[in-house]
Structure 1
């Protein structure tokens, strides 16, 4: 049990037969009336976002969720296979539990969120940035750096991202896994 005073981003709550994580929250103290906490929650099982308002001091049920580091091994028809870096146990995760699965390559590390009481995986979190090689893109022309024009590029994992015109094929780039956008070239 916790109260709204304990809210922080990433805290997991149990409600409506689902586990929700707090994406963002705001404590509001209006001039007239009681204080309240406005939150944006994301369902771990459903993946849907929910806007919910709690009264200040209201008690909520927290879920114990562990973040365990795993290494991505391979993908087959059973799902994505990961190996625990501490115990070397392997686990298969379904596609719907992984956001931006097209940005994962073999050998990459990721955190698997596991419900502590039931030992069930809830979600897979990739690191904020991954480094991937561009396997195909249209060639750039010298001097194409003046505008913010983008072109599609296919990465080694099969994902497609928009990159600036000056980025060429066989270039290692850094991709933001939160929105799947180009960040920078890797030196």
Structure 2
């Protein structure tokens, strides 16, 4: 097994029997103590963030992964049906694999699915930004548009996003799929 020093951000390791994605990995050497690696990881099954200190000589089980491009077709109950862009094979992806990104799944959006060496789905990577249309929001009065506050808006995927007061129904906005935050209004 490889040493923790050979692992980098974005690697997927098996930690305590479950797959974890390395979010950050920092090498620290405090004073006259032994060096260690401070790792922030995300459990890919539960979505929880985990912090752990690895000793410099500790070994980890790196999971061999394969990334494939898929296109989202439709929702089937709690699963999302995706199609391989090369072979046109369809698979069902559970909502848990998408995490918070499930709120921003539009028809025909391309995603990257990360498979483990045993063929199971570890992670679904959405595009960083997605353009969605606002379907419902409170109308803004003239006074509201002068202030810099926000208001809740429902977008075409059903997600709720806080948007500036000047956004109206029918506006197309760009949203960060990682955080669910409004980025900008899209001019078309």
TM-score, length-scaled by structure 1: 0.93
Name 2:63's counterpart in structure 1.
63
Name 2:31's counterpart in structure 1.
31
Segments of structure 2 that go 5 or more residues without pairing to the other structure are none
Contact 1:161 1:181 in 2 (8 A): yes
Q: Deviations over 1:30-78 (max 9, x none)?
A: 1111110001111112222211101113221100112211100000226
Name 1:103's counterpart in structure 2.
104
CA distance in 2, matches of 1:145, 1:57: 58
Name 1:135's counterpart in structure 2.
135
Cα RMSD between the aligned structures?
1.5
Q: Deviations over 1:66-108 (max 9, x none)?
A: 2211100000226110001111110001111112201111111
Contact 1:78 1:92 in 2 (8 A): no
Q: Deviations over 1:130-183 (max 9, x none)?
A: 000001111223464543311111111111111000111101100011110101
Segments of structure 1 that go 5 or more residues without pairing to the other structure are none
CA distance in 1, matches of 2:6, 2:142: 54
More helix by share: 2
CA distance in 2, matches of 1:110, 1:174: 17
Contact 2:134 2:170 in 1 (8 A): yes
CA distance in 2, matches of 1:30, 1:16: 26
Contact 1:134 1:172 in 2 (8 A): yes
Aligned length: 186
Please state whether the residue corresponding to 2:179 is helix, strand or coil.
Answer: coil
Please state whether the residue corresponding to 1:98 is helix, strand or coil.
Answer: helix
